[in-house]
Structures are given as structure tokens and as C-alpha cells.
Amino acid sequence: MSQPTALDLPPVDPLPPATEAYFAKCVEKLGFVPNVLRAHAFDIAKLDAFAALYNDLMLGASGLTRLEREMIAVVVSAENRCFYCLVAHGAAVRTLAGDPALGEALAMNYRVAPLDPRTRAMLDFAVLMTGASATVEDPDRARLRDHGFTDRDIWDIAAVAGFFNMSNRMASAVAMRPNPEYHAQGR
Amino acid sequence: MSQPTALDLPPVDPLPPATEAYFAKCVEKLGFVPNVLRAHAFDIAKLDAFAALYNDLMLGASGLTRLEREMIAVVVSAENRCFYCLVAHGAAVRTLAGDPALGEALAMNYRVAPLDPRTRAMLDFAVLMTGASATVEDPDRARLRDHGFTDRDIWDIAAVAGFFNMSNRMASAVAMRPNPEYHAQGR
Amino acid sequence: MSQPTALDLPPVDPLPPATEAYFAKCVEKLGFVPNVLRAHAFDIAKLDAFAALYNDLMLGASGLTRLEREMIAVVVSAENRCFYCLVAHGAAVRTLAGDPALGEALAMNYRVAPLDPRTRAMLDFAVLMTGASATVEDPDRARLRDHGFTDRDIWDIAAVAGFFNMSNRMASAVAMRPNPEYHAQGR
Amino acid sequence: MSQPTALDLPPVDPLPPATEAYFAKCVEKLGFVPNVLRAHAFDIAKLDAFAALYNDLMLGASGLTRLEREMIAVVVSAENRCFYCLVAHGAAVRTLAGDPALGEALAMNYRVAPLDPRTRAMLDFAVLMTGASATVEDPDRARLRDHGFTDRDIWDIAAVAGFFNMSNRMASAVAMRPNPEYHAQGR
Amino acid sequence: MSQPTALDLPPVDPLPPATEAYFAKCVEKLGFVPNVLRAHAFDIAKLDAFAALYNDLMLGASGLTRLEREMIAVVVSAENRCFYCLVAHGAAVRTLAGDPALGEALAMNYRVAPLDPRTRAMLDFAVLMTGASATVEDPDRARLRDHGFTDRDIWDIAAVAGFFNMSNRMASAVAMRPNPEYHAQGR
Amino acid sequence: MSQPTALDLPPVDPLPPATEAYFAKCVEKLGFVPNVLRAHAFDIAKLDAFAALYNDLMLGASGLTRLEREMIAVVVSAENRCFYCLVAHGAAVRTLAGDPALGEALAMNYRVAPLDPRTRAMLDFAVLMTGASATVEDPDRARLRDHGFTDRDIWDIAAVAGFFNMSNRMASAVAMRPNPEYHAQGR
């Protein structure tokens, strides 16, 4: 199997049993181990910290649906032009929404996507945070509340948008390569 | 005590004993509980995931010294103009380096700081990742290797720079307020 | 059939026989009439002028292959985040190259695509022209000549890149909608 | 006569009679053959396609006056800092408006020109399309309609602004040189 | 004493008596001669012209308080990331306001500082002038008048903001070094 | 006579004799009083401080010729799109150089002007200072020295470029109107 990044950081060998089990579960559910996990496997503490944060944000309890969280992931990754995350999370949006064109629109220019005003406001906030976070002020948060988001929802929007601003940069910095299986998903 | 952010998300009450102990250790070592931890305390799973990642990156084993990691934190936060992180990590640089002027220079314009070429290359990479991550390519990583950084070091530089691109945006998105005690530290 | 843009500009009715024949040929070859042609059909002189320029540039004799011209179309459209052109010409790249991942990479961040240096130089020139045309100078043209491009090739690269800077803006200005058939092509 | 661009692409020799006649008409009306036409004359199909589109847009029937179309040409060219187009179309604005200061203001900073609100809205739309076309949305088109522009007018504004985003880039990419006669016109 | 800039431009020697007296007064009041004055001392005409303009703007009669003028100096210098001016005028804000946190906030991201709306409007105008002066129009001036600023106040805001756009660039162009005494002032 | 700016700041009345004499000399040499001087005449101390700095920089002894200083004025004003300064100093370049096309090129895109490498390096430095002063470092100054500029020349380049970054912003902030006589000068 090819290296998941441009860095020469081979995985711990053998992997600890818990990691083996986690990767086996990925294969079972997705058909492969996402390269972002393989990339972290040179240091199990790092892999576990990354996976714990990711799973809490993207799969944990939240007022945001899983699709909403994936939509944020895609528009943030589009702003940052992160190939890895656009491929992986574009596939997730296509699959969860059952709508290939929506996944494409969010990856290319979310402003053209047919979105309800609440979703649009959520994505506008994520894009503002991505490109000009120092300018976020009370009226920006108030706009989210006007669309029915709670303060807990605002935290979650900010946390997901923040997370992909981290992982987009990490992926680009180490030239992380998306698993080829993503391209055909949800088309 | 004032709210740590603009969101109304009170801490779990009472805090679980492990969190109580963690916060007590902060008070013992720093004199206060950093507001970034108080802000997460509305959901202990989130607090734990954030703290685990932070502690691994900033305090765990690495080829980068603690000061080097704090320098990355400050220059990334300066690019993003994040008040919370500049105040908190500017204090860390001043204290760890024993050099108030260095902390100021990194927070204002790292190009004027008197840095050895290796440190400058490390910070240039962090700044490039912050402002134009999609343009990072092999020659950028090669430049770090030319200065003696290993692939593991490159991962760590990227991970710290990535982390602060997340936390800068999170802090600005929720208007996180730095503890006032930071201002006088290391002057 | 839905309107091809946000403007209320219905096609000439009936279409002149030459236009009928042209559209019929589109249906025969592509399965549909591209919306960019339907959008111009309110004024046949405009449709003919647009089609003549497009066909000369993209299908006429040139030192650039059809795939090379489509690659320029996609990277320029990615810089401008033009949904219509990314969808239509991304499909062309996937089909002509027989490589879905290449089409995705060019649409998301061409710097990560596995390109030979000559192709990369061609796309770098197109991107420079798109984002900072006023800074193009002799060394930029010399770089293309160093990669074996003739002066006629340079004209063609510039003309294709220029054309998509026009049509990207036109498409976004009138909210041109891509035909849904493009999404599944070449996957 | 000096070469019209930095590329070595001599005109077809002899020119076909129709091109000879076209160029003779330019000399009769303007006193010279614009270099943009001389530059295309290495390939008559390209010259004809370019001229047909240009003439339709700038001289054909439209709800926009010729001066309005030239004003769009100048403000778009100013955004792109295209020397050739600013010189040639600045001269056209000075001459058509009979107002040298207006031509200068549009070429330097159209916001300081004394414009009626309708003209200003038209130019704002052209500038928005030039610098951030992906952000154009329904409210931007609605603003033009509020100033009395029809959907056909909006198409024409967009088409002229789009055209100069093409020709500005083309001119800069090949270092097209304006005919010296333009400088003194309309002063 | 170290050189005040990266240029080798030693002061006139001996200094004329009036300059000696001026520098002696600086030492008496501040404890040192600011490096910006030492840097100009290679040419007394330049020193006098600079000092005359500075003293008129920052210390002369005005509807703006000294603190307000220093606040403008700091936010403009923050936009331009000028180390010299941020250090020198950050110290002035801390001292005049008796509020170290305010000085820090203005130097890092003035949007997070707890400012009354009038002061905020003043600083927004200074920041707009700094980053996009060509876009300043009547409504921007009207906004200042709405907050009670007179036309003379507007002149003074513009003049101070303009001045620091000059001196920030001058300081960075010659690598002017702030006197180390500033760092500890007003903490 | 119309007001020189958008602010209602009438000149001191009567003007002091020295100012009367200065303005009379302007009329004698230029045919009019430049509006930048009329604009300052509401406060003679401000007028004198501005004029002293201007005259020292633009007319005083320097290793730079008057034309070189006016060329810097124009390219800086072009970066900032300052109508007043482009009109006034564009006229000066046309007149001093006896070359209308040069004045136009510098005002529109100095990269296309036929400049010797030394002059180009000087203008590149001025443009760098204007757009990204915080990034100026030793290699930028070394490049000027390589072209034969002394440290005193570098100071003068920086001072002129800095000055116009002030006066461009001041002129735009108060909507300063150029005297109409400039438009026809040196054509």
C-alpha cells in the first residue's frame, strides 16, 4: 500500500490490538482505512488524540445533524483548497444527502447551492471563521441565534469549522493523499 | 468570575473529580484556570479531547523544544490576530525564553526578531501553512530538512501550526477572553 | 426544461434552422444542449459569436491537445470558483484523460495533481494570468519557452485562460446552471 | 512598424482581401490599425472570431449606450491594471464623453468620478464581477433591476465586463503595446 | 549605543545646539532619545521637518485627546505590523490609559477591545484608510459626523492615520529598532 | 473657487503674509495653487509642517533626481489608487520626462514601462513598501545597494514612498480634488 503522506513515518509495527481493532472496523464499514488514520499511526498517542477529537465533533451528540457537520467540513475545506478533505468529506456529503450535485456545489462554490437560509447562515459563519476569524463579532453570533441556533449549536459550528481549519492545513502540509475509493462514492 | 466566552454555556456542576483535580493543578502551577479550559467545561468529553490533544502536542515528547512550539503558537496566532492566544502564548514565550522583547516581536512581526536560520525556517513554514496551505509543496518540506529537521519534526511543526489555526478560530468565534494574569507574566 | 440562468431571456422562437441543427448535433454527441448555448439563444448573433470563439479555441488547430486546453479551463475555473465551468469542464477532463482523480485534483487544487513539469508550467501560467495578470512579464513567457512551448502555443495558452476568465465571470454573473448530466460523466 | 506584442507571431502575408479592407477602414476612421487586431492577424480565423465578438458587444444593438460600454471597459481594465486596454478605452471614454477628467477618474479610481447612481450601480456590478465573481448572487442582480436595468441590460453589462476580463488578461499575457496615437486623443 | 536602523547613516557630529537641547529634553522626560529621532539625525533639516509634523499632529491642539491619537497610531501600526511603532505607541497607550490590557488589545486585534461606539468608529475609519483608502466615500465620513466628530476632527483622524501609514513604512523599510525601554512601560 | 475637499474647513482669512507670498509663487510658477495646499490652509501650522516636509523630500538635496522622486510618487499613488496624487504627480512625470506615455504607464502598471534595471529596482522597493512593508528585510535593501544606491539614497526612496502612502490616504480620506489644470499638462 502506498504511503499516506510525503513524510517517511511508518506505522508502529505491530499495531497495538486496540488500533488493529479500530482499523478493522474501518475496513468493515468503509472498505478501507482512511489515510488520515494511517498517517497518524506512527505514534498511537497522536492517533488516539486525533480520533477522539474527531469522533466527538463529527459523530458525538450535537444539535447539528451529521450531514450539517459534513457540509461545514466541505465548505471550510473548499476555502482552504484541501484536496484530501474535499475528496473524503465531499463523498460523505454526497452519500448522506443522497445528492451528488449538492456535494459538488459545496466543494466548488457553496453560494450556488440551493440551501435553506438557516443552513446558509451556518455555512457563512464557517466561511467567515475560515477567512477572517479576527473580524467575528457579536452580530455574527446574533445572526446564528436569529436562525434558531442555540449557544451550544454555535459552539459546535465553530468547533467543526475550527477542526477542519486544522486538518486542512495538516493534510496540505504533509501532502496527505486521499484513498482512491472516495472518488466514486455517492455519485 | 466572569464568563470565559460570549456564549452562555455554564460548566458542568459539580465538575467530575478528575476535572476538579486538573483545574486545581492549574491553579497550583499557573495561579488560575486558563479560560480555554473553563470554556470547554460545559461538556467534559470535549474538555478531555481538547486537553489530550493540546497536552500531546505542546508538552509531549518531540524533537521540538517547548519554546519552539510556543514560538509557532505565537506566530500563527499573530497571522490570525487571535487576542486570546497571543496573550496566553506570548506570555509563555516571554517566560520560557526569558526575553520579553522576543515575545513582543513574534506577536507583532516575527520577521524582525533576531532568529537563527533554522528557527526562522520553522516559523516561515508555520506562517505559509497558515496563510496559503494549499500552496505547500515538496520544496517547502525540503527546506525544513535542509535545516536539519527530521520528518517527525516536520509532522510536529505542522501539527502545532495546524492546532493553533483551529484554536485561534475557535477563540475568535466565541470571543474567548484571556485571563488577565497573563499580561504581566515574563515582562 | 428549467431556465439556464437567473435572467429571464427566453430563446428566439422558433430557432433559426442553423441553430436547430447545431443544437441537434449537441444532443446527438452529448445527450443534451449545454446550458451556456441555451443561455445565449435569446440573440443568435451573440450565440454565434460565442460559439465561433469557443470552437476555435477549444476544438481548432493548436499545438495544445484538447485535454491540455480542458485542463487550463478547469484550473482557471477553480481559481474563479465558477460552478458551471467546473462541472462542465471537469467532466471533459475526466473523460478525455480517463482519470476521475485527475479531474477532481484540478478542480480542487491543481498543485497536488501528478503533472509533468511542462504541464505544470502551462497551468502555473494560466493561474498567474487569472490572479495577477498585471504582473506577467518576460520571465514568465521565457519559462514556457524553456518547457518547449512555441510562441504560438503561448498565445493559445493565454487565449484559453483568458476565455475562461470571461466565461467564468459571465456564468457567475447570470447564475448559469450546469446541465445535471455532467455530474456522472467520466466517473 | 514595431511588433504589437512580445510574441513572434507575424501576420499572414499577404492578408486576405477582407482583412485588408477591415484594416483600411480602421485607418480611415482611427488613423491606425489597433494593435489588438494586428496581434491576431497571424491567424485570420482567430482575428475574425475576436472581432465578431468585440463588435457585437461594443457596437451592436444594446440598451447600454456606447459610452456606458466603454466606461465598463475602463473600470474593469483599471481593476486588472491592463495598460493596453486602459490606454485604448480611456481614449474612447474621453472622446465619447467629451470629458478628459472623467476618463482619468475611471482609469484611476472610479469611486471618485461624479456619476449618477444608475451608472455607479452598473460599474459596481462590473467591478464585483471582476474581483469576486463567485460571490455574485440574486441581490446583486436585483440592485441593477432597481436602477431600471432590464434582464437584457444585465446580460450586456456582464458580457462587456466579462469580455474585458478576457482581453485584459490576454493583453498582459502577451505584453500587447497600445498604439501611441491613443495617448493624445480626447485630451 | 547600537545603530537605530539597518542603514549606515551616522548622526551629524557635533549635533547643532538646538538638536542637543531637544534630545536632552527627551532624556529628561522619557529617559532616552527615541530611535526614530536618532535615525533622522544624519540630516537636521529632515529631523526638524519630521519632528515638526509629528509634534503638531500628536501633541498640538485638536478635538482628539492625546490618548485617542495614540490609539489611532497603534491600530494603524497593527494593520501594517510595524514593530517599532507598535512597541513605542503601545507603551504610550498603556501609560496614558493606565490600562495594559487595552494597549495589548489594540496592538493585537482592536475589534476585541471594550470601546465605546464613538472610539470604535474613529478606529474603524483609521483602519479603512489604512487597508483600502481608495474606497473611502461620503458615507464613511458621515458615520464619523454621526458620532459627533466635527470636520476638523475628521481631518485630524485622517492626518494621524495617514502619518502612521508613512512612519510604519519608513520604520519597516529601514529596519528601525525600538528602544528597549519601551517594553516595560505601563505594564 | 470650489472647495478643495469634502470637509468644510475654510482657509484662515486673511492668510498670513508669508502664506500669501507662497501661494502667489505657486500661481506664478504653476498657474494655480495646488488644492493640497489650499486644503491645509485652515491651520497655518499644519500647512507649514506639511509644506516643509514635502519640499525637503521632493525638492531638497538628494542622490535621487526630481524625476526619480516623482516616479516613486506616481507608482505608490497607483498602488493606492489615489486620484488626486495620480493626477498631480502624473503631470509632473509627463513634464519632467517629456514623455506622456511614461507618465501613463507608471500610473497604470509600472511593470510595462521601459525602465532601466536600476529605476525598476527603485520602484519595486517603493511598491513593496506600499503593499507589504512588514515583509521588507535585508535582502530587499541589498538589492538596492547592488544597483548602486547608497544608504542615503535608500533612506530617500523610503521617505518619498512613505510620504505618498501618507498623502494618498489623506487625500482619499477627505476626498481631495485635483486642480483641473493638471489634466492637460505634458500631454
Q: Are C168 and C82 in contact (CB under 8 A)?
A: yes
Residues of chain B contacting residue C109, judged by C-beta atoms under 8 Å apart: 134
Nearest to A49 among B56, B152, B154 (CB): B56
pLDDT, position F139: 98
- The number of C-beta contacts closer than 8 angstroms across A and B is 136
Residue of A nearest to B153 (CA): A7
Q: Do F101 and D184 touch (CB under 8 A)?
A: no
Torsion sign over Cα B11, B13, B18, B21 = positive
By a Cβ cutoff of 8 Å, what residues of chain F touch chain C?
109, 111
pLDDT for residue D1: 60
Residues of chain B neighbouring E87 (CB-CB closer than 8 A): 104, 108
The answer to whether E41 and E19 have CB atoms below 8 angstroms apart is: yes
Residue-level pLDDT at B11? 97
Residue A100 CA to residue C100 CA, distance in Å, equals 15
CB D183 within 8 A of CB D32: no
Q: Rounded to whole angstroms, how far apart are CA atoms E25 and E33?
A: 9
At which residue does the C-alpha cell 485652515 appear? F42
Q: Which of E107, E103, E58, E121 is nearest to E79 (CA)?
A: E107
Query: Among candidates C69, C46, C64, C31, which has minimal Cα distance to C170?
Result: C46
Find the DSSP H helices in D41-150: 44-59, 66-79, 83-97, 100-108, 117-132, 138-146
Closest CA to C145 of C114, C120, C122: C122
Check residue D162 and give its pLDDT.
98
Residue pair E74/E86 in contact by the 8 Å Cβ criterion: yes
Is there a contact between E163 and E50 (Cβ–Cβ < 8 Å)?
A: no
CA distance C104 to chain F (A): 34
ipTM entry:
0.97
- Reference E8, options E174, E181, E146; nearest CA is E174
What's the mean per-residue pLDDT of chain F?
97
- Tell if the CB–CB gap between F133 and E172 is shorter than 8 Å: yes
The reply to whether residue A56 touches residue B42, judged by beta carbons under 8 angstroms, is no
Q: What is the mean pLDDT of residues F163-171?
A: 98
Non-local (6+) Cβ contacts of C168 within 8 A are C76, C77, C80, C82, C85, D133
Q: How far apart are CA D128 and CA D156, in angstroms?
A: 15
Which chains sit next to E, with 3 or more Cβ pairs under 8 A? A, B, D, F
Interval C151-187: pLDDT, tens: 999 999 999 999 999 999 999 999 999 999 999 899 8
pLDDT confidence of residue D112 = 97
Q: How far apart are CA E156 and CA F86, in angstroms?
A: 23
Measured distance CA(B149)–CA(B119) in Å, rounded: 10
List per-residue pLDDT tens for chain A, 187 residues long.
689 999 999 999 999 999 999 999 999 999 999 999 999 999 999 999 999 999 999 999 999 999 999 999 999 999 999 999 999 999 999 999 999 999 999 999 999 999 999 999 999 999 999 999 999 999 999 999 999 999 999 999 999 999 999 999 999 999 999 999 999 899 8
> What pLDDT is stored for residue B118 in this prediction?
98
User: Which chains would you list as touching A if contact means 3+ CB atom pairs under 8 Å?
Assistant: B, C, D, E
Q: What is the pLDDT of residues B143-168, one digit of tens each?
A: 999 999 999 999 999 999 999 999 99
Question: Do F16 and F44 touch, CB atoms closer than 8 A?
Answer: yes
Residue range F166-187: mean pLDDT, rounded: 95
Cα first-last separation, chain F: 25
User: What integer pLDDT is reported at residue E2 of this predicted model?
Assistant: 81
Question: Which pLDDT score, from 0 to 100, does residue E187 have?
Answer: 87
What percent of chain B lies above the pLDDT cut of 70?
A: 99
Q: How far apart are CA B50 and CA A106, in angstroms?
A: 28
Asked if A172's CB is within 8 angstroms of B133's CB, the reply is yes
> What is the rounded CA–CA span in Å between residue F144 and residue F122?
7
% of chain F exceeding 90 in pLDDT: 98
Beta carbons of B109 and F134 less than 8 Å apart: yes
CB contact at 8 A, F170 and F176: yes
- For residue E109, the chain A residue with the least C-alpha distance is A134
**pLDDT score, position F95:** 95
Please answer yes or no on whether D109 and E134 come within 8 Å at the CB atom.
Answer: yes
Residues of C in contact with D125 (CB under 8 A): 173
- Asked if the model's pLDDT at residue D36 lies above 80, the reply is yes
Q: Is pLDDT above 90 for B2?
A: no
pLDDT tops 80 at residue C1: no
Residue C35 has pLDDT above 70, yes or no: yes
| Cβ neighbours of A134 in E, within 8 Å | 109, 111
Predicted confidence (pLDDT) per residue in E46-92, tens digit: 999 999 999 999 999 999 999 999 999 999 999 999 999 999 999 99
CA E87 to CA B101: how far, in whole Å? 9
Q: Do D184 and F180 touch (CB under 8 A)?
A: no
Q: How far apart are CA F160 and CA F167, in angstroms?
A: 10
Q: Report pLDDT digits (tens) over E128-157.
A: 999 999 999 999 999 999 999 999 999 999
Q: Under 8 Å CB-to-CB from A18, ≥6 apart: which residues?
A: none
Contacts of E109 in chain B (CB under 8 A): 81-83, 172
Burial of F14 (0-12, 13-18, 19+ CB in 10 A): exposed
| Closest partner CB to E109 (pick from B81, B108, B112) | B81
Whether the Cβ atoms of residue E12 and residue E41 lie closer than 8 Å to each other: yes
Would you give the distance in Å from CA D72 to the centre of its chain? 7
Q: What is the pLDDT of residues E23-54, one digit of tens each?
A: 999 999 999 999 999 999 999 999 999 999 99
Q: Going by beta carbons, is chain B in contact with chain E, meaning 3 or more pairs sit under 8 Å apart?
A: yes
Interface partners of chain B (CB pairs < 8 Å, 3 or more) are A, C, E, F
Q: So what's the pLDDT on residue B180?
A: 93
**DSSP state letters, A77-126:** HHHTT-HHHHHHHHHHHHHHHT-HHHHHHHHH-GGGS---HHHHHHHHHH
CA angle E44, E47, E50 (to 5 degrees): 150
Verdict on whether the full-model pTM lies above 0.95: yes
Tell me the CA distances in angstroms from A164 to A171, A178, B47, B81, C12, one per residue in order.
10, 15, 18, 19, 48
Percentage of chain F lying above the pLDDT 70 cut: 99
Close Cβ partners of F24 (under 8 Å, ≥ 6 residues apart):
none
Cβ contacts (< 8 Å) between D109 and chain E: which residues? Answer: 134
**CB-based contact F82 D175, cutoff 8 Å:** no
Residues in CB range of C171: below 8 A, 6 or more apart: C36, C82, C83, C84, C85
- Name the band, by pLDDT with cuts 50, 70 and 90, for residue C46: very high
Contacts of E81 in chain F (CB under 8 A): 133-134
- CB pair distance less than 8 Å for E183 and B104: yes
- Per-residue pLDDT reduced to its tens digit, C116-159: 999 999 999 999 999 999 999 999 999 999 999 999 999 999 99
CA gap B164, B166 in Å, rounded: 5
Spatial CA neighbour of D172 closest among D5, D32, D35:
D5
Contact B183 E112 (CB under 8 A): no
Residues from chain F contacting residue D172 (CB–CB below 8 Å):
109
State the best of C155, C167, C176 to mutate against chain D, taking most chain D CBs within 10 Å.
C155
Residue A51 to chain B, least CA–CA distance (Å)? 9
Q: State the cell numbers at C151.
A: 510562441
CB contact under 8 A, B109 and E81: yes
How many whole angstroms separate alpha carbon A154 and alpha carbon D68?
Answer: 46
Closest Cα of chain D to C115: distance in Å? 23
Q: Which chains touch C (3 or more CB pairs under 8 A)?
A: A, B, D, F
Q: How far is CA C57 from the centre of its chain?
A: 9
Residues of F with CB under 8 A from a CB of D: 78, 81-83, 86-87, 100-101, 104-105, 107-109, 112, 172, 175, 180, 183-184, 187
Nearest CA in chain C to A87: C104
pLDDT higher than threshold 70 for residue F1: no
C-alpha cell at C78: 477553480
Residue F2's pLDDT is 81
Asked if the model's pLDDT at residue B132 lies above 70, the reply is: yes
Cell numbers found for residue B40: 470547554
Using CB atoms, pick whichever of B81, B129, B174 lies closest to residue A158.
B174
User: Looking at chain F, which subunits does it touch, using at least 3 CB pairs closer than 8 Å as the criterion?
Assistant: B, C, D, E
Cis before A178 (ω within 30): no
CB contacts < 8 A, D to E, total: 4
